[in-house]
Chains A and B, each alone.
Chain A
Amino acid sequence: MMGVVTYAIWLALIALSLAAAALSLDPQLGGPHRRWWWQGLALASAAVLALSPHVVTFSQQELLVFLTINTLVVVSYRLLALTGEFSLGHVVMMGFGAYASALLSKQLAIPVPLSIILAAGLTGLVAFVLAFPLFRMKGFYFLIGSFAAGETIRLLWKAFIGPKGISRIPGVPDIEIGAWEINFWEPVASYYLILVIAAVSIWILWRIEHSHVGLTFHAVHWRDQLAGAVGVNTWRTRTQALVLASFFAGLAGALLAHYITTVNPNRFAVHEMVFVLIWVIVGGTATIWGPIIGLVTLTAINEVLLRDIGYDELRPLFYGVLLVLAMLFLPNGLETLPARLVRHFRRAKLLASQR
């Protein structure tokens, strides 16, 4: 019974993000009732997200916490991708936030909520410094250059803080309101906390994308030289995107560190970065929902479905095959699935009516 509910929750999360992507991609969808559709979707999402930790098992609650943290990672990654540059250093930026917040709270005894915000800010600052060398490069050179920069930082942690990283990091402090006590060690409490933070962050990122700044991101992506010619400072635009993306990655890392109470260099290795890249590209980058679809779907497959089938050691095999199939059949990402289906049904209907 529990299993059915679990799958229902995951399917609902996938369906909701697909619906959001469909609405974003097709401005005609819903016609005059479009606003209602959005409102209905928002309500349904809120209900599913609020309910889900209470109906799934304990270990699935943990998965939901990590899913929410990763949502912040993929959505912020997309911000940089908007400018046309794909980085392989994003997970190291996440790690930077994790290490910074761990050290600030543990060594300097700075209160955890403050250390999280400071760590995110420091991550943005480091990104700003890195932008100087990195944005001399473009395309594949940037991809590998960002990897080198990230890997250097990661190896420095290993050399100077140690291969085991930091453990016994203080958690987010409990909150007591009268008799009501919230303990953030509990996955449900942390889930709600991180969900609120992620929701606010996504809202901010969405606003940025649709602001004047966001439009220049798109411009820099599609018409690099033209944008430069009409007075857009491409370097500054890309730096803005990198700093913002890194700020939110650092935030995600800090939240992770205080939740699992440990960080180590291996957790932020290129292997983990590859998974972020997979989530984002398999989901699609045209809408803010694309990376979320990729993340939720692939997490459900890798952490729920494939583990349930058993035979843990072959999970990478199935996962690899699914990645290839996803790219072959939906090269622009899972986010295009609803539109593809709609087109398919319309054509089938048309054919049927002609007969």
Chain B
Amino acid sequence: MTFGSVDRRRFIGTSALAGAAAATTVHPGRLRAEETVRIGFLAPLTGGVAAWGLPGLYGCEIWAEQKNAAGGVEIGGTSYNVEIVSYDNEYLPDKARTGAQKLISEDGVSFIEMLGGDTMPAVTPIANRAEMLVSTLLPSDLSPDTPFLVAPAEVHPIYNLTGVWWMAENMPEAKTAVICAQDDALGRPSVATYLAAFEAHGIEVKDTIFFDISTTDFAPVMTAMLAHKPDILCLDTAYAEFVNELCKQAFVQNYGGQIISCTADFYADIIANTSEEFMEGVIFQFPDFDDPALNSEDINFNDPNGFFEVYNERHPGQWGAVSWEYASILDLWLDGAQKAGSIEPAAVLGGMKQGGKGAHAFGEANWWGEELFGIDNALVGNWPVVQIQNGKAVIVEFKSIPEWWGEHSATMIKHFEAMGEMWYQRA
């Protein structure tokens, strides 16, 4: 990275946090890219939801830095430096709208990455008018009104079915489950997915318990769950710290059965909080990026092990799913831009969706979603099932979501409808 290529807005940050790292990457006489392509990062960076934005920004900065250090990215015969322009939307729709206007009309970005959720409905009309390509981490933002919005990293919560599927195949003795879920836009569609997957695989769900996201004490939640004496505790999609607290409570209240969860970030801490035996066999959906299975040919995330290492060195304790997801979307964007030979948003969208296939982080995937979201803008393919074995997260199998969908789509649609999560049901 040379001084001139450091983004003005980010300069203070990168120089303060990674002064040494930046210094080592300055090579006089290195190839300079001809042009700059700007990518907007419009997510909460302050406030209670910042944990879903800020760690992702760190990941994107590392991604851009690595690309720029290698002389930029080559699109349509021109080499570009990548510059990430961030705008803190504080997870508020009005600030997101202002931010989108600024990124599009003043910063001249070619693509905007967002967390989505509460902030998306205010940005969608702006993106549609400007024909600006936008990505979200929450596919529930997709609808037929969002032709320029893609959900290319994780099609939350659909992939959660892969864990249940694997569990049903490998642990046929587990027959009853209880689900607890945080009561928000993250937890509710996830419940629908788990309910569908459990039903499809003949597991009876005894109860579903919602808790508010301001909950700090999970003892009562766990007491209520364990009152049903389930074979399986399903923690749904919950914030990392909630998963941790729920596991601690299950441990303290002497639970001995199977646990399945969407995430288990910082699982090493959970093991320290409970015990290795207690956490042995827990199933979730997010691999460590030093997992050797990620070095396979069909994985599209560039150098996952190296990325994981740099990230942890620079931002210790901040790694989680969002750390790589925003960066993996940049890989997909780059692939689309290279296929289109242009950085024009509409062309990149065309490149991304060429032939109905896209280069997802976990392998080639299909553009899909019409039946659930009303538009084929979600990228689904294989998703890893991860299990804790001897205190370490291990990818036990990649399962194909399209294959499951072919067989059980009606069950999933039924539960999405019952939860009021189908695109045409949203208020």
Contact = CB atoms under 8 A, between A and B. Distances in A.
A271 interface: yes
Interface string A130-164: 00000000000000000000000000001001111
A267 B54 contact: no
Contacts of A59: 98-99, 101-102, 105-106
Contacts of A63: 98
A276 B95 CA distance: 16
Interface string B82-93: 000011100111
Interface stretch (A13-21, A118-126, A280-288, A309-317): A309-317
Nearest to A263: B93
B46 A264 contact: no
Contacts of A161: 427
A263 B92 CA distance: 10
Contacts of A236: none
A185 B118 contact: no
A187 B13 CA distance: 32
Interface string B39-65: 000000111101000100000000000
A263 B88 CA distance: 19
A3 B172 CA distance: 65
B106 A262 contact: no
Nearest to A187: B101
A313 B46 contact: yes
Contact of A162 (B54, B87, B91, B427): B427
Contacts of B121: 167-168, 260-262
Given A59-B102, A164-B426, A260 B88 contact: no
A248 interface: no
A172 interface: no
Interface string B283-304: 0000000000000000000000
A165 interface: yes
Interface string B115-129: 001100110010000
Contacts of B188: 163
Interface stretch (B3-11, B373-381, B385-393): B3-11
B405 to A, nearest CB: 24
A86 interface: no
B34 interface: no
A161 B425 CA distance: 12
Interface in A286-344: 303, 307, 309-313, 315-316
Nearest to B9: A310
B224 interface: no
A260 B93 contact: yes
A57 interface: yes
A165 B9 contact: no
Interface string B1-31: 0000000111111000000000000000000
Given A58-B105, A58-B106, A162-B420, A311 B118 contact: no
B207 interface: no
Contacts of A58: 101-102, 105-106
Interface in A255-282: 256, 260-264, 266-267, 271-272
Contacts of A158: 183
B183 A163 contact: yes
Contacts of B370: none
Closest 10 CB pairs of A and B: A167-B121, A59-B102, A262-B121, A312-B88, A310-B9, A58-B105, A59-B101, A62-B98, A260-B122, A163-B184
Interface of A: 57-59, 61-63, 66, 158, 161-168, 185, 187, 256, 260-264, 266-267, 271-272, 303, 307, 309-313, 315-316
Interface of B: 8-13, 45-48, 50, 54, 86-88, 91-94, 97-99, 101-102, 105-106, 117-118, 121-122, 125, 140, 145, 183-185, 188, 420, 426-427
